Amino acid sequence: MQTVTVSEQGQILIPLDIRKQLGITPGCQLSFILEGSSVRIEVKQRVQPTRPEDGYGLLVCKEPGERHLAEFDVAQAMRDAK
């Protein structure tokens, strides 16, 4: 049995060996079920790792001509979207 301490914000750190065994990664959803004076935690949704090619087509530019990602200014795009 492993013991952890609850932070001021109510957070806990799930021990690494348990995270590995259950496949818990950042973004996973967990459910907390109260059972008497105990809490059961279930992994509800695991997050699949993404690959760069998974984002193909997400950035769309309707301007004519060839575009390169290095030319893209995120800050300007956010200002233009307002």
**Is 66 inside any structural domain?**
yes
- pTM of the predicted model as reported, rounded to 2 decimal places: 0.53
**Is 19 inside any structural domain?**
no
Instruction: Dump pLDDT digits (tens) for 15-35.
Output: 999 999 998 988 889 999 999
**Is 9 inside any structural domain?**
no
Quick one: tokens of 4?
A: 């952890």
**Is 14 inside any structural domain?**
no
Range of the domain at 72: 57-81
Instruction: Dump pLDDT digits (tens) for 34-77.
Output: 999 999 999 998 777 777 777 777 767 777 888 777 888 888 88
Task: Give CA separation, 24 vs 13, 15, 42, 48, in Å.
Answer: 12, 10, 10, 10
Q: Count up the domains in the chain and report the number.
A: 1
**Is 68 inside any structural domain?**
yes
Question: CA triplet 12, 45, 2: central angle to 5 degrees?
Answer: 30
